[in-house]
Every structure is written in structure tokens, then in C-alpha cells.
Amino acid sequence: MGDSGLTTPLSMAYKKKVKSAWKNRLNRFRTFYRKISRSERGMAECVGAKPQVFFRNKPREVLSVTEQEAIEKIHSVYPTGMKNGLENMRSLMEKLGNPQERLTMVHVAGTNGKGSCCAMIERVLRAAGCHTGLYTSPYIEVYNERIRLDGVPISGEKLAALVEKVWHAVQACEKENVHVTEFELGTALAFTCFAEEKVDVAVIEVGLGGRLDPTNIIHPAVSVITEVGMDHMKILGNTLSEIALEKAGIMKRGVPVVLGRQEKEARGVLLAAAKGLDLPVIELTAENIREEQKQIMFDVAFENVKLPNLKVSLCGRHQADNACAALGALLTLKKKGFRVTEDAIRRGMADVHWPGRLEYFGRVLLDGAHNDPGVRALCAYLDRWMPKEKTVLVSAMMRDKETVKMCQRLASRVHSVVCTQPSIPRAMPADELAGEFEACGVRTYACPSPSDALEEARRLAGPEGNVVCAGSLYLIGEVRTLLRHEKEFAHVI
């Protein structure tokens, strides 16, 4: 999920919890960047990206804001931000000269799969020789992940320079009684960055919903809506139709829209919205899907384009649907003059990576499933590749999710569960979550510390067993940091 939801008054106790949580994240951020302070060429080669996007070889600006101070400034607006439709964002961007109006963009909404879809679009465009920008949320380990140039998170120095550049506009907004949210500020940083770098295409992921999301001030070249499901009901609505209507809010007159695979109810709403705006709708279907443990292959055809045996280097059958949505956007860009060749599509799709989504670290599998549709996709993967009697689950969940339903699905796929809680105020206490899993008839343990939970799960699984971590992207971030600090995975970025 994104962090672009409504802001409500916070108690002092809650503010202290928030401050403590962000302090923990800052510590992880500093550790991460110490770890990647290798040469920019080595770093870029690790992720298959262009090395020039790291800025250490460029003339250094004299900055009054350090990397750490920039992160603290970004998080400092969280307690004071007040969501006001799109007016905050319009005011902020106007003060910055509306850099988003100089960009060619792809706008991606959806309940699940939108991050993977964005990663696929960006990777293929990079394979086609484009200079790319990618904006996604939330981050898994460090804030810089949200803004990527040619597939690589921006450096701390670049982030500090962006914050210094944008901060005057934030202060100007405050003088007009406009209090921007953290997500609005992050979106402004991304737009400013991509305009400065003159990217060929910026791929923009919606934070939450669509209609009122801060990213929705843009006029993209193509809009994409991946699977719509039940999540964030308190904000978006209690039915699939209501949620789909919010997602449809990213549609713009004159902008083609690509639809990923949808349930009948949601698809009907989306098609009606597109018809009302007289928009062309692109829908691709994967055929003959062949699933391997760490990749998928399928056939797809659209108009005069045929792509048999297309390989995608992401796990799970559901990624075929996300890939089809990405292909719809790429083929639309091709019609608009971008040189998206079959070779670029094949090379990009075969080399795409998206952290924390069915990602393996030895016998530990990380998946960011944090709502019921995401858990359904994870369970389908577990049914195929992980025997119940050899699988232990590490789980944490947020209080505002459909926890009972998710626990019921996951409990029947594992022989035991270790419940924990990340350093987030919204997290359900480990013992409370353990109670929900116990009600499903599975052996359950409670370890509030994610580090202790991972250690206990590995002990329970044994050397031949599997550990699956799921239920919250915040949990995945903390566990991924722990795993990358192990010698065996020191090379992973």
C-alpha cells in the first residue's frame, strides 16, 4: 500500500510511536548505504542497470542538508500533513514550476500487482535503450528505493539535493495554510527528479486508490489498472464496484487505458468508465502458462504482435497477468513512437527483479502479500511448490487488514506459524495475531522481534524445510535487511 491516505489528528502517545518507528528506519537506511558504498559501476552491474545514474562522479553541490537530515525532513511532515483531495499537490507543484508537465509518463493503479507491473514496464524500456524513472511505494528497506533512475535507487546525495530544492515550496504552502502530506512531498521529489534528469519515460505507481491519489495530477501517455480487489475499504469503499470506481479515477480523456485481469464486477465498472470517456481499452490475455519455481513462461498475442514462449523472471502464475498489463502499456508506447522491439521485450521480461515479491533467500521466501487477493496468489504458489509439512510461516499484519480471512488461508498451507510485529504503530501485536492463527488450528508461536521470529522459524523448519515470510511489506523490509546482512546474501541489493 502507499501512505497517501487520509490524515487524522494524532495523540501524543501515537506521535511518540511514529517517531520511534521512523528512527528505526533511519538506522536501517544508514546501514544500507554503508553497505553499498562500493563503486558506482559495481553497484550498477549488480542490478543490470546503467552505471551513470549514480551521482558520485558528478560535480558535488554544496548542500546545507545532509542525507540523514533530508530523510528526517520528509518524515517530519507526517504528523502535520492534511489530505485535501488534489489541491495540496497542485499547489505544491505549481510552486515548483509543474515539472511533471514536461514528462512522458505511464500511470499504474490497482490493488495488487501494480508494483510488479511497473517494474516490468521500466525494465523493458531500459532494455529498449530508454533513460527511465520509476516511482513506487512503499519502500522495502530504505526511502531512496521509491525513486529510481535506470533501475537504481537514487543516492543519498541526490535525495538531499532534491529535498533542499523542494523544501522552499513546502514552506510556501504552509504559509498559505496548505499542509502537504508525506506522500505528496515524496511524489513532488520524484517528479522534480525525473524532470531534472530528463528521463525518456517515467513509470508512476499510484499510492492508494486513484481518483484522489497525489500522483493523479499527471496527464500520462497511457494508464494501466491491474487487478482490483478488496483493500483499504475504510477509504475506498466496501464493495468491489466502489473500489473499482476509485481506481477508474486515473482515466483521462484522450489517454488509452490498459486493464489487467479483473473480476467480472470490477471489469464492468472499469469498462463503463472508459466508455464514458470514449477511451480505447487494451486487454491482453496470457495463454499456455507454464510455471516453474522461479520463473514463468506463456504465449501472448495482440493485434499483429505475437510473442510465443515469453519468459518472465518473477515467480507465480499471477505474474503472467501483470506481464500482460505491462505489455499493453509497452505496445501503446510503441504506437506513440518509442522503439519497443520484440528483443527488448524478451530481454527485459527475462531480467526483471522486484524485491520482496516471492523473492528467495536460500530456503527463505519473502512475499509482500498484505491483503486477501495477495494472500490468495501466495497460497496458489505455496500449493504448487512448498509441501505443508516442510513449511513454516513468519507473519505480521496490520490492524486495518482482513486478518481473519488471511490467517485462515495461510494456516492451512503451513505446519506452524511464528507471529511477530514490525516497528510500525499500525502493526497488530504478535500475541494477538498468534491468537487468530491458533483459532485456525495451526501450531503458533509469538516472537515480537522479527529477528527472533526468523531464527525460531528456521529452527522449526530445520535444514531441509522452508520458511515463508508474509502478511506485511513492513515485515518483509525488516527481514530482508536481516538476510542481506548474512554473508551468503551480502551480494544482494
Residue that the C-alpha cell 500511470 belongs to = 107
Smallest CA-to-CA distance from 474 within 141, 211, 127, 236 is with 141
Task: Indicate if the pLDDT at residue 47 is higher than 60.
Answer: no
- For the chain, give the percent of residues with pLDDT over 90: 84
Q: In b/e form, how buried is each residue of 322-338, taking b as 16+ CB within 10 angstroms?
A: bbbbbbbbbbbbbeeeb
Query: What does the alpha-carbon distance between residue 154 and residue 144 come to, in Å, rounded to a whole number?
Result: 6
Cell of 120: 516490468
Task: Indicate if the pLDDT at residue 121 is higher than 70.
Answer: yes
Torsion of Cα atoms, 382 then 386 then 392 then 397, to 10°: -10
- In whole angstroms, what separates CA 206 from the centre of its chain? 9
- Return the pLDDT at 55: 37
- pLDDT bin (cut points 50, 70, 90) of residue 323 is very high
Summarize the confidence of residues 160-169 as an average pLDDT: 97
For 189-205, write each residue's pLDDT tens digit: 999 999 999 999 999 99
Query: What does the alpha-carbon distance between residue 36 and residue 156 come to, in Å, rounded to a whole number?
Result: 11
- pLDDT bin (cut points 50, 70, 90) of residue 40 is very low
For 341-373, write each residue's pLDDT tens digit: 999 999 999 999 999 999 999 999 999 999 999
Cis previous bond, 138, omega within 30? yes
* Secondary structure letter of residue 53 according to DSSP: G
- pLDDT bin (cut points 50, 70, 90) of residue 304 is confident
Cell of 20: 520511534
Summarize the confidence of residues 398-402 as an average pLDDT: 92
- pLDDT bin (cut points 50, 70, 90) of residue 226 is very high
Task: Indicate if the pLDDT at residue 57 is higher than 90.
Answer: no
- Return the pLDDT at 8: 38
Query: What does the alpha-carbon distance between residue 213 and residue 2 come to, in Å, rounded to a whole number?
Result: 9
Label each residue of 287-354 as H, E or C: EEEEECCCCEEEEEEECCEEEEEEEECCCCCHHHHHHHHHHHHHHHHHHCCCCCCHHHHHHHHCCCCC
Query: What does the alpha-carbon distance between residue 308 and residue 185 come to, in Å, rounded to a whole number?
Result: 43
Smallest CA-to-CA distance from 201 within 225, 224, 222, 226 is with 222
Q: Count CA atoms closer than 13 A to 217's CA, side-chain side.
A: 20
Task: Indicate if the pLDDT at residue 35 is higher than 50.
Answer: no
Mean pLDDT lowest among 43-47, 228-232, 428-432, 466-470: 43-47
- pLDDT bin (cut points 50, 70, 90) of residue 49 is very low
Residue that the C-alpha cell 464496484 belongs to = 241
Query: What does the alpha-carbon distance between residue 441 and residue 273 come to, in Å, rounded to a whole number?
Result: 44
Whole-number Cα distances in Å, 262 to 51, 221, 283, 402: 38, 22, 10, 20
Q: Are 215 and 146 a contacting pair, CB within 8 Å?
A: no
> How wide is the angle at C-alpha 438 spanned by C-alphas 433 and 443, nearest 5°?
110
Task: Indicate if the pLDDT at residue 291 is higher than 70.
Answer: yes
Q: Are 436 and 404 a contacting pair, CB within 8 Å?
A: yes
Q: Across the chain, how many H-helices and E-strands are there?
A: 17, 17
Query: What does the alpha-carbon distance between residue 466 and residue 381 come to, in Å, rounded to a whole number?
Result: 13
Summarize the confidence of residues 125-145 as an average pLDDT: 97
- pLDDT bin (cut points 50, 70, 90) of residue 19 is low
β-strand pairing of 305-312 with 281-282: unpaired
Summarize the confidence of residues 70-75 as an average pLDDT: 96
Task: Indicate if the pLDDT at residue 9 is higher than 70.
Answer: no
Smallest CA-to-CA distance from 213 within 374, 399, 88, 371 is with 88
Smallest CA-to-CA distance from 160 within 57, 55, 89 is with 55
The overall average pLDDT reported for the chain is: 90
Task: Indicate if the pLDDT at residue 52 is higher than 70.
Answer: no
Summarize the confidence of residues 59-66 as an average pLDDT: 64
- Return the pLDDT at 23: 55
